[in-house]
Amino acid sequence: MSSSGFDTERSPLLAASTSSRDSKTLADSTDGALESTPLLSTSNTTPRYNGERDDPDAASLVSAEASHSGDAEPPARPAKKSTRWPSIIAALILMALATSIAIGAFFVPAAVEEYAKEAIVIEPTNLALESITTDGVRARIQANFRLDAQRVKNVHVRRVGQFTTWLAKELATEETKVKVYWIDHDNMLLGTAGLPPLTITIANGHNTELDIVADLAPGDADTIRTIANQFLAGKMDIIRVRGTTDITVKTRFNIPLGTHYVSETMEFEGIAPLPSYNITGLNFEERPLPGDEKEGMAADVTITTFNPYPVAFDVPSLKFEVLVPGCRKHGPAISVATAVTDVIALRPEADVEVAAHSIVEDLPESLTSPCPGGTMSPLDKLFEAYLAGQPTSVLVRGQRDQGGDAPGWIGDIMSSVTVPVPLPEQSFDDLIRNFSLTDVSFSLPDPLADPDDPDSNPKVSGTIVALAALPSELNISLNVSRVQAKADVFYHSSKLGELEIDEKASSIQIEGGPGEENLIEITSRVHDTPLKVTDDDVLTEVISALLFGDVNVILDISALVDVGVHTILGEFIVKGVPAEGRIPLKPLGKDLLGSMQPQVGNLEVVDTSPVSITLQASVNVTNPTPYAAYIPWISIHILNNETVLGEARAKKLSIKRGNNTNLKVTAVWRPSLDGEDGRQIGRDLISQYISGYNTTVTFRTHPGTIPSKPELGKALSKFNFTLPVPRLNVPGDNEGGRRDGGNGSTNGTAPHFIRGATFHIFSSTATFTLASPFTRNTIYIEHINATALYNHTEEIGRIKYDSPFGCPPGLSTTPRLPVDWSLDSVGRDKLKEALGGKLRLDAKATVRVRIGSWKETMWYIGRGIGASVRL
């Protein structure tokens, strides 16, 4: 204490009893320690909400039982730092008694005053709430009082004090009212205490059992609110108070010693923080509203803490407002519910259980509406912080109107203090238990889209099925109506790209059995969701694994999901729910190209130039994969022997699973892109194809494959897709792909463009039946240099012809072409033998053809051509 009163809280206001008068008291052994016992201590035995227990505290409150001089006393308990009514009342009693002792000695010398300050020991043993009055509370305070001369260090002071108190023996006080002021805040009135008359023994070592019933009244609500807010904010390290009273003292012989004004200042350090607590029970359920058929969401919570003090009383049922922080940090909070507590039984050194119940009728519009200048509502911000694992609190404030028999002062004080209550921590790492994507289809980017346009990205469609765990405390009906997410897609821990999902959804709740958690299955159909590829190399790895692997390709998904939820309180969005999942993709199969079985029909020329020809055809192809695809536009190079011969183009292709017919494809044949070598390779490829050789072409992407995504085409160019040149459907093809020229010559794979021949012996001419693969265009043959052979080697005759003639679509017959017979060959004799019949011949030829402006010279080798021989 300071100045005129007790120096500090280090004075022997509180001390443990000893086993003998000669032993030192606890206060002596802890000389210099400050008052430090908290009103509610940290819970150290109560199980937490997650089932764990706190470690026991190393310190506990001193609790001394009433004892007489010479009796055995209980062992001392270490003290805790706090500021509480027992300490304040004890200090006020101490200063009153110290003054009484000084007056009782008929003089107030400095020695007696110092003796009184150092020798007094008051040990509170119990504090109980007798009743709640209209002005405050009536409390019963039990304590032990004695003077211990051994605590006085100065020998002279000790002797003088012992002598004067021996003379006085006892002192008595009349009814006294003590006022306590807060010095640091303009001497604001903290409260008053009405003390009854007291009689105490002041002889050294004699114990007086005090049993006081005092009326305690709080100060005004503004004062209580100020001190509570500073305490909750952790800004109350030191509090200085001043107590004042007018005390009337008399001796044991009823000799009045007058009324004296006493004013003492006390300083308390090390104010204990708000006691910790554990949420040991939490439950949400749908419950009918009182007096209404409508239902609301009820919340029941049980909180447990520990009372380490010798304090016992029952706290009546109280009403509180539950609030959520609003849009502005220091703005008004939003009231969402009213909570009512059960009667709280506070017992000494025991767990204290607080049960509260509330019911939410509906969600205020201010809670769910976006804040000015933003898109987040106060509810969104609360969910976002909580789901992100950040410390999140709701606010609790007492109601002014407590109703019932509660006096008005309780509501005045409680309504002036708002306490933040942290929400229990919960891990959401395993919230999404399963995440899958089925019925997958892909769409290539739109070639005309701007680079920043979502249409410039590949798109994914499919059905998302997610299985999420619900907290066991949540026992209400939930229906997920919409899912919006920004998801990162990974392959082997490397980021592939980003998915943006915004689709309608539906859900089914699955109740768990005993000991099992409740689940909710969420289904959403996504359509053309853009996949923004962020790493082309990772995409290349994925495609390679799909093309050449034989196990599922696993893509990992990590997302923050905004979930539209419909509950009994209405529909709102829970933002930022963490979700992780895996999407298995089935490999395409090692024989993908062989399983496609492409067929080309309706071939026509749509454009020509001297160096190029543009063809259009209908393609039938089988898609053996489990995926569908949509191609807005694509361009792929056609290669042979690593030489670019042209490109294939397609647009607006929808490729479904299984058979696909009449897919429109355009091909530009321009081998001159690679110079003369390219032209020669292209010439040989066509010659081999029309001659029935097994020919293949390679398809490869390039930067212009998808104009809006050149980097994607470049990345995919690492893959070559080589397949046989698709067979052409030409007139005369029989079912099963067999071609018959009328002479029994068949070949199921070679494209027979020469279907038959007729040799005229006398006129030395020959005509040929030709099959054109084109449906609308005429092929012009400008030059022929051909040799007919028998048995592959025996020459029959030669044809040289330079007059152009046309080969229209379908089957046609050439003009009579002059034949120069080989008179001395074996073939000549065979020809005569076949006169009037048929003969199977071979042919070798060099032919120059023209289609529109395009011309090309090619060679042809035919085998087994059925030839008729006529005169």
Q: How far apart are CA 741 and CA 813, in angstroms?
A: 13
- φ, ψ for residue 601 (rounded to 5)? -145, 175
| Res. 645 pLDDT band, cuts 50 70 90 | very high
Count other Cβ atoms within 10 Å, centred on residue 142.
18
Range of weakest confidence among 41-55, 477-491, 833-847: 41-55
Q: How far apart are CA 124 and CA 142, in angstroms?
A: 6
- The domain segmentation of the chain, as residue ranges, is 26-269, 278-377+390-422, 432-437+445-581, 592-728, 754-870
Mean pLDDT, rounded, of the chain? 78
- Asked if 141 contacts 123 with a C-beta cutoff of 8 angstroms, the reply is no
Average pLDDT over residues 23-43: 35
pLDDT of residue 80: 43
**β-strands 137-147, 188-195 pairing:** unpaired
The answer for residues whose C-beta is within 8 angstroms of residue 262's C-beta and 6 or more apart is 95, 96, 99, 243, 244, 245, 246, 247
Q: Is 303 exposed, middle or buried (0-12, 13-18, 19+ CB in 10 A)?
A: buried
pLDDT of residue 272: 62
Per DSSP, 770 falls in state E
Measured at the CA of 30, the angle between CA 24 and CA 34, to 5 degrees, comes to 140
Same fold across 278-377+390-422 and 754-870? yes
- φ, ψ for residue 224 (rounded to 5)? -60, -40
The pLDDT tens digits of the residues spanning 685-708 come to 999 998 888 899 999 999 998 888
- Which one is predicted more confidently, 514 or 327? 327
Q: How far apart are CA 456 and CA 458, in angstroms?
A: 7
pLDDT of residue 21: 34
Would the pLDDT of 34 be above 50? no
SS3 665: strand
Alpha helices in 497-561 (DSSP H): 536-548
Residues facing residue 121 across a β-bridge: 146
732 conformational bin, left if phi > 0, alpha if psi -120 to 50, beta if neither? left
Query: Which secondary-structure segment (H or E) carries 820?
Result: strand 820-821
Taking domain 592-728, whether its CATH number is 3.30.300 is answered by: no
Fold exhibited by the domain 278-377+390-422: Immunoglobulin-like (2.60.40)
Would the pLDDT of 36 be above 70? no
Measured at the CA of 749, the angle between CA 743 and CA 750, to 5 degrees, comes to 65
pLDDT of residue 116: 77
Residues facing residue 97 across a β-bridge: none
Q: How far apart are CA 850 and CA 836, in angstroms?
A: 35
Single-letter amino acid, residue 652: K
CA dist 720 → 650, 684, 702, 715 (Å): 18, 21, 11, 12
| Res. 314 pLDDT band, cuts 50 70 90 | confident
Measured at the CA of 661, the angle between CA 660 and CA 664, to 5 degrees, comes to 110
- Domain 754-870 class in CATH: mainly beta
Measured at the CA of 61, the angle between CA 57 and CA 66, to 5 degrees, comes to 150
Sign of the CA dihedral running 488, 492, 496, 499: negative
In the chain, DSSP finds a helix count (H) and a strand count (E) of: 13, 45
- Which one is predicted more confidently, 181 or 57? 181
Q: How far apart are CA 473 and CA 596, in angstroms?
A: 55
Q: How far apart are CA 186 and CA 153, in angstroms?
A: 37
| Res. 109 pLDDT band, cuts 50 70 90 | low
pLDDT of residue 786: 94
Per DSSP, 112 falls in state H
Q: How far apart are CA 132 and CA 83, in angstroms?
A: 21
Count other Cβ atoms within 10 Å, centred on residue 14.
26
CA dist 390 → 50, 383, 424, 589 (Å): 18, 10, 11, 47
What is the end-to-end Cα distance of the chain in Å, rounded?
145
| Res. 732 pLDDT band, cuts 50 70 90 | low
The pLDDT tens digits of the residues spanning 766-811 come to 999 999 988 889 999 999 999 998 888 888 889 999 999 999 998 9
Sign of the CA dihedral running 795, 797, 801, 807: negative
pLDDT of residue 223: 74
The pLDDT tens digits of the residues spanning 354-413 come to 999 998 888 888 988 899 988 888 888 888 887 777 888 888 888 888 776 677 777 887
CA dist 166 → 149, 228, 431 (Å): 12, 45, 76
Average pLDDT over residues 465-481: 83
pLDDT of residue 485: 86
- Asked if 251 contacts 106 with a C-beta cutoff of 8 angstroms, the reply is no
258 conformational bin, left if phi > 0, alpha if psi -120 to 50, beta if neither? left
Token pair in block for residue 566:
């419909």
